[in-house]
Structure 1
């Protein structure tokens, strides 16, 4: 999916190389939960 609003964790890390390696384990679960919530919201809209 090519959009500026929906990004996977891997795409987010690739676009932001300035993120400190120590913060990645803290940020990953939060960003991934946002990813899942966005997917759930889009699926709800389609049904």
Structure 2
């Protein structure tokens, strides 16, 4: 079994996936808050 050496693995794909996930969550939260504000305004 090979010795593990910290920091040698290429993680560009994982970083790109994580960045996409963070953007999706951020936009989802913005849309949800916008919908809730709209509902609150309409229902007065």
| Structure 1: segments with no counterpart, 5+ residues | 1-18
Is 1:25 paired with 2:12? yes
CA RMSD of superposed structures (Å): 1.9
Could you tell me the TM-score, scaled by structure 2's length? 0.53
- Decide which structure has the larger Cα Rg and report it: 2
Is 1:42 paired with 2:29? yes
Which structure carries more relative contact order (alpha carbon 8 Å, separation 6+)? 1
- Which is richer in helix? 2
Q: How many residues align?
A: 29
Please list every run of at least 4 consecutive aligned residues from structure 1 whose deviation after the TM superposition is greater than 3 angstroms.
none
